[in-house]
A = this chain, B = another copy of it.
Amino acid sequence: AQLALEKDYETHRDYETRYRVIMEAARDALVLVDVASGRIVDLNSSAAQILGAEADTLTGSAFTQEFEGRRRGEFIEGLVLAAGDEASGPVLVKTRRGKLDVTLHPIVFRAAGDKSLLCRIESTKSAETVAAELS
User: Which residues of A approach B to under 8 Å, CB–CB?
Assistant: 2, 5-6, 8-19, 21-23, 25-28, 30, 32, 107, 109-112, 116, 118, 120, 127-128, 130-132, 134-135
User: Whole-angstrom distance from the CB of A87 to the nearest CB of chain B?
Assistant: 19
Chain B residue numbers with a CB within 8 Å of A128 are 127-128, 131
User: Whole-angstrom distance from the CB of A113 to the nearest CB of chain B?
Assistant: 9
Contact of A112 among B13, B120, B127, B132 (CB under 8 A): B13
Q: Copies of this chain, how many?
A: 2
Chain B residue numbers with a CB within 8 Å of A112 are 10-11, 13-14, 17
Q: Which residue of B lies closest to A132 (CB)?
A: B127
B12 touches A13 (CB 8 A): yes
A18 touches B19 (CB 8 A): yes
- Which of A11, A112, A118 has the most CB atoms of chain B within a 10 A radius of its CB? A112
A19 with B8, Cβ < 8 A, contacts A26-B28, A30-B25, A131-B128 known: no
